[in-house]
């Protein structure tokens, strides 16, 4: 098929010298550069482009812009696939491949159309009414059925191959919309020296002036004025013009999002979509208006279009949407479409006008051309042949039951007046008000969205403000620009161009066209084309008590589709008001929420995908571990080796080898991720006494003390060894994931509560590599190295500073394995060197590395708790048997008062115990519940097979557990399965601690 | 997204650069306080629809805590001030009163 509907002349946007081949549903068509997918398909006579969401009704293109509810396609393949794209916004390009949605097997023969036959079983609120009972019917019957027949485009199956990015910008004035109002405002702001960003969602500037060019501006034709104005703006360095860029949102404090479709035209673009994050002094929303459709019987047939869209296709793209068109209008503007069609040589069968006495220059021009005008008449019914509009039947508004005239036509151009696009005004709380005279919601100047200093942050210019004619648009836009510039202190006068525009007479809106007989109920008078919501649905919702506009919306799904009711909301609210006997102002409107049109997930993600999603923190030894079988475990943002795999051994084999190595010879562990916070100052000791449950002020320089930290609720939040480096300096170790939080916690108290204390803190976690050397041969290992530290003399829980194998170190004699153990902190630049020496020596002694899982088993054998395993934010120091670490002498510390609360001193709280299964080989599942008399009495917090003890061990929090040693309880291990386990002391190995203190 | 001025380092930054810290000027009750006092310290917050004195930290900046007076309704900011005070400064209170007089906040 070769562009059968391309007009001989016209089409200011298309380049007829070049052909573009594209695919729709696998079939090849041709169009021209400048076409949209919609205009190209219409040029090829393709009218049926989609099936509706609910009833699978045949649907065609309705509009020519972002308000399009019907013409959604799947665009691209595999890595470029994107569903639900409006073909009215897709610029035609070589290789474009689009498929229609929501049909099976094809658009022409869709089996889902059976839904339509059953449509009386799908009333408003269908989902609410149907799926309440019986519950299992949803899972086994309704969901599978509905998933197959409903839905929009297909979800992508491949990873997105394109690249996306975010960019940041700042300006004084952000202008949304490059129509005549936007251009006037941009020119005024640009000339005043303001930094201006002008964002236009299409690929062209000029807006409706490109089509409705019957006005003269400053004595020039619209076209000449437009060219001169654009050239002037392009010459200004302080004005940035972005095409294909939609101002999606105006958020708090003048923060706006621009969505730029920079690379959607087939060529190898580096960035497909770009999200602009803009802070602006003011927003001028020059977002124009959207034409309203008219509800009449079968108004959803392919061929029924907005009047403005029909003339856009004729004048912008040189396409005739129909051979024979009926114009159905409630205002003068609809006559422009009739005139454009007539001028292009298309047949206008009739102009039906809702008004009794249409008059004015545009009506006169139509009369002069001899076009038939029928006042007080509408379309009673549209009829289809082969899924397309074939004829209409007129209806006399005064006598709807009287038989009308049948007029054969393949296109209806409808106009029910215009609605200002107030979205940006409303996104951050601005209100819209109903203007009864102009029949539209427009911005309420008394209730603007306010910015940080209570200024009105969004100003509205032109059509978006309700200005209908070019002269009104120009005057209003110039006034708004002057007002904004005055507010910004950049002058306050903008030249108002002299405009001569065609005068228009008032509209007489038609919210629903009367029909004869049963059709009068409105069951096929569609309001929301995308969600298949009819006049009857909204009326039913009102009758069933969904009187609030927000309730009716959710009950009927009116305006809840991807187009967010751009065409349907006002008409729907009018029907609601009519049914309830309320005025439009009383009905009110729903809230507009960003984004204005859907934006891609890719643009939201930007570059924050894959490795850049969340950067990994690496210790100085990361590469060494990776090269030696390190099996990573995420710990906070770090990666730690869970175990080191040798050959193809399984996890348990590695872990058991590593455990026994530490118990029998010597192991080395990368402990660098442990938090290290320096707390320094004359009041450091006093401060730490408040932060820890134990007394830190009595710690002697050079000594270490295990400390517990509470939150103000009295629950454990972190633990670690505190080292007093000197009288005024402490080094606080924290858990691996907790360093940043605890540092923040210290700072919060110092800055906001005890700001009189003389204390500084510094998080030095990443400045040091920390290495643990643990096992009975640890001292042998260290003594074989060159060092000025006497490892034979360094007592347990002490610290020494010196050098080891040429590296500066702090040596801590502390143990988290229960073995003789030393930890060394060395500046990261020495980390790898020290590690390699220690590791080589360990191997000489029959030892080697151990990973985090071996560390966890070794500490569990000793009954040492891990914050986050044994604790969950509801566990106290007493609960885990560490009452010894809670000072009774201190007057106050964080959480002390909370620990006095009656619930925290109950004797039957969950308390930490050990569990030994009667079957020593059975390892309890982590988190398994202890059960007694059918009730849970606690849960397992840590559970392992202990290679040292050659049996399973577990730690658990059990109600009143510390008084129940020796009792046997049941632990649920699977559905209807339990294991018997003895409650015991959680210290399974070396209860006296003789191995670590030698 | 709020635009916040840090009174400590003077930088204006995006809200994401800062961490909120809830209501400001809460008096801490420790050992010796009654259950009612302690419960009010831990749990009772005004959560107003209107003027809110709140704590923020310039978490991804200078790291300092500070206070901000803000309308939770319109997001108007009346001012920022340092953390080491127990009551808001008079000029900010004056601005709040002016906004109330103009009917912008309750």
Chain-chain contact of B75 with A747 (C-beta, under 8 angstroms): no
SS3 for A193? coil
Per the structure block, which two tokens stand in for A883?
A: 């009452």
CB-based contact, A896 to chain B, within 8 Å: yes
> Which residues of chain B from 50 to 89 reach within 8 Å of chain A, CB to CB?
55, 57, 59, 63-65, 74-77, 83-84
DSSP state of A592: P
Mean pLDDT over the full length of chain A = 94
What element of type H or E holds A633? strand A630-635
- The torsion defined by the Cα of A239, A244, A250 and A251, in degrees rounded to 10, comes to -110
pLDDT tens sequence across A175-188:
999 999 999 999 99
Q: Look-up: residue for tokens 């890595």?
A: A79
For chain A, what percent of residues have pLDDT higher than 70? 95
Let me know if residue A798 belongs to a domain: no
Distances (CA, A) of A659 to A647, A847, B44: 18, 11, 49
A284 and A333 both lie in a single domain? no
The model's confidence at residue A1, banded by pLDDT at 50, 70 and 90, is very low
Let me know if residue A173 belongs to a domain: yes
Q: Which of A153, A182, A208 is the last residue of a domain?
A: A153
Q: Residue A289: what pLDDT?
A: 98
Q: Which of A587, A608, A629 is the last residue of a domain?
A: A587
Handedness of CA A867, A870, A873, A875 (dihedral sign): negative
Residue A122 has pLDDT above 90, yes or no: no
pLDDT tens sequence across A862-910:
999 999 999 999 999 999 999 999 999 999 999 999 999 999 999 999 9
Chain-chain contact of A898 with B63 (C-beta, under 8 angstroms): no
Partner residue opposite B76 with nearest CB, options A453, A752, A901: A453
A127 and A238 both lie in a single domain? no
pLDDT tens sequence across A787-803:
999 999 999 999 999 99
Partner residue opposite A747 with nearest CB, options B30, B63, B76: B63
Partner residue opposite A253 with nearest CB, options B29, B64, B75: B75
Partner residue opposite B84 with nearest CB, options A253, A755, A897: A755
Chain-chain contact of B74 with A254 (C-beta, under 8 angstroms): no
Let me know if residue B106 belongs to a domain: no
A463 and A388 both lie in a single domain? no
Let me know if residue A635 belongs to a domain: no
Residues A295 and A380: their CA atoms lie apart, in Å, by 10
CB-based contact, A254 to chain B, within 8 Å: yes
- B6-B7-B10 Cα angle (round to 5): 65
CATH number for the domain harbouring residue A522: 3.50.50.60
CB-based contact, A446 to chain B, within 8 Å: no
Chain-chain contact of B31 with A891 (C-beta, under 8 angstroms): yes
Chain-chain contact of A454 with B64 (C-beta, under 8 angstroms): no
CB-based contact, A279 to chain B, within 8 Å: yes
Q: Residue A737: what pLDDT?
A: 87
CATH number for the domain harbouring residue B65: 3.30.2270.10
Let me know if residue A879 belongs to a domain: no
A412 and A436 both lie in a single domain? no
Mean pLDDT over residues A524-531, rounded? 94
Lowest mean per-residue pLDDT among A160-164, A625-629, B51-55: A160-164
Residue A220 has pLDDT above 50, yes or no: yes
Q: Which residues contact A898 (CB under 8 A, 6 or more apart)?
A: A710, A712, A713, A714, A715, A904, B38, B42
Mean pLDDT over residues A688-706, rounded? 98
A396 and A425 both lie in a single domain? no
A129 and A252 both lie in a single domain? no
Bridge-based pairing state of the strands A324-329 and A347-353: parallel
A383 and A438 both lie in a single domain? no
Give the count of domains, chain B.
Answer: 1
Let me know if residue B80 belongs to a domain: yes
Q: Which of A153, A184, A212 is the last residue of a domain?
A: A153
> Which residues of chain A from 78 to 137 reach within 8 Å of chain B, CB to CB?
none
Q: Which of B8, B12, B62, B83 to mutate to test the interface with A (most CBs of A within 10 A)?
A: B83
A412 and A444 both lie in a single domain? no
A208 and A355 both lie in a single domain? no
B35 chain-A contacts, CB cut-off 8 A = 901
A449 min Cα distance to partner chain B (Å): 8
Residue numbers of the domain that contains B43: 3-101
Q: Residue A929: what pLDDT?
A: 97
Q: Alpha carbon A921 to chain centroid distance? A: 48
What element of type H or E holds A308? helix A307-317
Let me know if residue B72 belongs to a domain: yes
Let me know if residue A753 belongs to a domain: no
Residues A520 and A538: their CA atoms lie apart, in Å, by 14
Let me know if residue A748 belongs to a domain: no
Residue A494 has pLDDT above 70, yes or no: no
The phi and psi torsions of A221 (rounded to 5 degrees) equal -65, 155
For residues A118 and A57, which has the higher predicted lDDT (pLDDT)?
A57
The model's confidence at residue A268, banded by pLDDT at 50, 70 and 90, is low
Let me know if residue B55 belongs to a domain: yes
Number of H helices, E strands in chain A: 25, 50
CATH number for the domain harbouring residue A111: 3.10.20.440
Mean pLDDT over residues A68-83, rounded? 91
Q: What is the Cβ-side half-sphere exposure of residue A753, based on CA atoms within 13 angstroms?
A: 15
Chain-chain contact of B2 with A452 (C-beta, under 8 angstroms): yes
Note the ipTM here: 0.97
Residue numbers of the domain that contains A919: 905-998
**Cβ A919 vs Cβ A977: under 8 Å:** no
Q: Which of B25, B62, B63, B65 to mutate to test the interface with A (most CBs of A within 10 A)?
A: B65
The model's confidence at residue A118, banded by pLDDT at 50, 70 and 90, is low
Q: Residue A471: what pLDDT?
A: 95
A223 and A343 both lie in a single domain? no
The model's confidence at residue A113, banded by pLDDT at 50, 70 and 90, is low
- Count CB-CB contacts under 10 A for residue A766: 14
pLDDT tens sequence across A355-373:
999 999 999 999 999 999 9
Mean pLDDT over residues A728-738, rounded? 95
Let me know if residue A872 belongs to a domain: no
Q: Which residues contact A555 (CB under 8 A, 6 or more apart)?
A: A124, A125, A128, A541, A544, A546
- Count CB-CB contacts under 10 A for residue A621: 23
A305 and A395 both lie in a single domain? yes
Partner residue opposite B1 with nearest CB, options A253, A747, A898: A253
Mean pLDDT over residues A4-11, rounded? 94
**Cβ A179 vs Cβ A207: under 8 Å:** yes
Bridge-based pairing state of the strands A977-984 and A910-917: antiparallel
pLDDT tens sequence across A428-487:
999 999 999 999 999 999 999 999 999 999 999 999 999 999 999 999 999 999 999 999
DSSP state of A843: H
A211 and A122 both lie in a single domain? no
pLDDT tens sequence across A383-437:
999 889 999 999 999 999 999 999 999 999 999 999 999 999 999 999 999 999 9
Chain-chain contact of B83 with A892 (C-beta, under 8 angstroms): no
CB-based contact, A713 to chain B, within 8 Å: yes
Let me know if residue B45 belongs to a domain: yes
Q: Look-up: residue for tokens 């000793």?
A: A862
pLDDT tens sequence across B65-99:
999 999 999 999 999 999 999 999 999 999 999 99
B75 min Cα distance to partner chain A (Å): 6
Residue A291 has pLDDT above 60, yes or no: yes
CATH number for the domain harbouring residue A988: 2.40.30.110
Let me know if residue A13 belongs to a domain: yes
Residues A86 and A304: their CA atoms lie apart, in Å, by 17
Give the count of domains, chain A.
Answer: 4
Q: Residue A951: what pLDDT?
A: 97
CB-based contact, A253 to chain B, within 8 Å: yes
């Amino acid at each position: 098929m070769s562009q059968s509907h391309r007009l001989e002349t016209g089409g200011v946007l298309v380049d007829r010298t070049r052909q573009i081949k594209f695919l729709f549903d696998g079939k090849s068509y041709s169009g021209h550069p400048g076409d949209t997918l919609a205009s190209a398909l219409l040029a090829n006579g393709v009218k049926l482009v989609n099936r509706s969401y609910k009833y699978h009704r045949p649907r065609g293109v309705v509009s020519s812009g972002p308000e399009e509810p019907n013409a959604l396609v799947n665009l691209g393949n595999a890595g470029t696939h994107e569903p639900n794209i409006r073909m009215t916004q897709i610029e035609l390009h070589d290789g474009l491949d689009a498929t229609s949605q929501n049909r099976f097997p094809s658009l022409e023969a869709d089996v889902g159309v059976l839904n339509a036959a059953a449509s009386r079983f799908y009333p408003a609120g269908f989902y609410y009414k149907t799926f309440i009972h019986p519950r299992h019917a949803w899972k086994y019957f309704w969901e599978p059925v509905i998933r197959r027949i409903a839905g929009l485009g297909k979800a992508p199956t491949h990873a997105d191959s394109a690249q996306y990015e975010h960019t940041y910008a700042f300006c004084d004035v952000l202008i949304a919309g490059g129509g005549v109002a936007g251009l006037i405002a941009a020119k005024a702001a640009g000339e005043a020296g303001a930094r201006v960003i002008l964002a236009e969602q299409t690929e062209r500037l000029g807006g409706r002036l490109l089509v409705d060019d019957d006005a003269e501006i400053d004595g020039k034709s619209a076209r000449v004025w437009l060219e001169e104005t654009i050239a002037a703006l392009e010459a200004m360095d302080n004005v940035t013009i972005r095409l294909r860029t939609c101002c999606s949102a105006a958020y708090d404090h003048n923060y706006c999002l621009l969505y730029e479709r920079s690379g959607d035209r087939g060529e190898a673009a580096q960035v497909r979509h770009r999200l602009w994050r803009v802070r602006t002094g003011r927003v001028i929303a020059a977002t124009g208006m959207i034409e309203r459709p008219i509800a009449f019987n079968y108004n959803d047939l392919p061929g029924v279009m907005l009047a403005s869209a029909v003339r856009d296709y004729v004048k912008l793209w040189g396409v005739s949407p129909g051979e024979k068109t009926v114009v159905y209008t409630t205002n003068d503007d609809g006559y422009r479409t009739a005139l454009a069609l007539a001028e292009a040589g298309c047949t206008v069968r009739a102009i039906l006008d809702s008004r009794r006495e249409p008059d004015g220059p545009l009506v006169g021009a139509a009369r002069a051309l001899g076009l038939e005008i029928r006042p007080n008449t509408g379309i009673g019914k549209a009829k289809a042949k082969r899924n397309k509009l074939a004829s209409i039947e007129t209806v006399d508004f005064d006598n709807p039951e009287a038989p009308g005239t049948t007029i054969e036509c393949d296109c209806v151009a409808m106009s029910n007046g215009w609605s200002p696009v107030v979205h940006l005004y409303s996104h951050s709380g601005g209100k819209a008000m109903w203007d009864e005279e102009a029949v539209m919601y427009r911005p309420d100047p008394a209730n603007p969205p306010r910015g940080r200093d209570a200024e009105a942050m969004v100003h509205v210019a032109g059509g978006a403000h309700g200005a209908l004619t070019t002269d009104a648009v120009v005057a209003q836009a110039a006034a708004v620009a002057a007002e904004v510039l005055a507010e910004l202190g950049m002058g306050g006068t903008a030249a108002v161009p002299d405009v001569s525009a065609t005068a228009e007479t008032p509209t007489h809106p038609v919210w629903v066209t009367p029909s004869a007989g049963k059709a009068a109920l409105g069951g096929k008078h569609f309001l929301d084309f995308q969600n298949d919501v009819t006049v009857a649905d909204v009326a039913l919702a009102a009758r069933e008590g969904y009187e609030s506009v927000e309730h009716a919306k959710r009950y009927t799904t009116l305006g809840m589709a991807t187009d967010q009711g751009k065409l349907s909301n006002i008409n729907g609210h009018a029907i609601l008001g009519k049914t309830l006997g309320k005025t439009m102002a009383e009905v009110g409107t729903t809230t507009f929420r960003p984004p204005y049109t859907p934006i891609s997930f890719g643009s939201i993600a930007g570059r924050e995908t894959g490795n850049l999603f969340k950067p990994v923190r690496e210790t100085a030894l990361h590469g060494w571990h990776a090269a030696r079988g390190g099996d990573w475990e995420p710990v906070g943002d770090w990666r730690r080796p869970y175990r080191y795999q040798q050959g193809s051994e399984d996890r348990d084999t590695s872990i058991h080898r590593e455990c026994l190595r530490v118990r029998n010879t010597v192991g080395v562990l990368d402990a660098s991720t442990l938090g290290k916070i320096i707390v320094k100052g004359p009041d450091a000791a006093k401060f730490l006494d408040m932060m820890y449950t134990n007394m830190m002020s009595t710690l002697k320089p050079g000594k270490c003390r295990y400390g517990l930290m509470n939150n103000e609720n009295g629950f454990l939040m972190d633990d670690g060894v505190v080292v007093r480096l000197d009288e005024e300096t402490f080094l606080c170790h924290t858990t691996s994931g907790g360093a940043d939080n605890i540092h923040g916690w210290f700072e919060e108290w110092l800055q906001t509560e005890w700001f009189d204390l003389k204390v500084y803190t510094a998080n030095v976690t990443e400045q040091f590599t920390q290495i643990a050397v643990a096992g009975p041969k640890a001292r042998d290992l260290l003594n074989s190295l060159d060092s000025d530290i006497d490892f034979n003399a360094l007592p347990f829980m002490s610290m020494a500073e010196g050098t080891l194998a040429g590296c500066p170190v702090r040596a801590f004699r502390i143990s988290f394995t229960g073995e003789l153990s030393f930890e060394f902190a060395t500046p990261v630049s020495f980390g790898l060197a020290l590690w390699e020496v220690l590791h080589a020596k360990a191997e000489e002694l029959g030892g080697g590395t151990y990973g985090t899982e071996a560390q966890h088993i070794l500490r569990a054998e000793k009954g040492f708790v891990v914050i986050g395993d044994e604790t969950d934010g509801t566990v106290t120091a007493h609960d885990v048997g560490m009452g010894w670490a809670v000072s009774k002498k201190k007057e106050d510390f964080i959480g002390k008062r909370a620990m006095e609360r009656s619930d925290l001193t109950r004797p039957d709280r969950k308390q930490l115990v050990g569990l030994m299964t009667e079957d020593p080989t059975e390892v309890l599942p982590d988190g398994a519940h202890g059960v007694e008399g059918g009730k849970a009495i606690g849960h397992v917090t840590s559970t392992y097979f202990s290679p040292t003890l050659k049996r399973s061990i577990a730690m658990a929090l059990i109600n009143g557990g510390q008084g129940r040693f020796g009792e046997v309880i049941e632990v649920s291990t699977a559905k209807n399965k339990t294991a018997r386990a003895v409650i015991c002391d959680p210290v399974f190995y070396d209860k006296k601690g003789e191995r670590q203190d030698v | 997204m709020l635009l916040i001025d840090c009174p400590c380092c003077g930088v204006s930054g995006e809200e994401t650069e800062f961490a909120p810290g809830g209501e400001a000027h809460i008096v801490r009750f420790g050992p010796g306080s009654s259950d009612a006092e302690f419960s009010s310290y831990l749990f009772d917050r005004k959560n107003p629809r209107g003027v809110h004195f709140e704590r923020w930290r310039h978490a991804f900046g200078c790291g300092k805590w500070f206070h901000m007076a803000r309308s939770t309704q319109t997001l108007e900011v009346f001012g920022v001030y340092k953390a080491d005070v127990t009551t808001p400064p008079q000029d900010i209170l004056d601005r709040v009163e002016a906004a109330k007089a103009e009917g912008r906040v309750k």
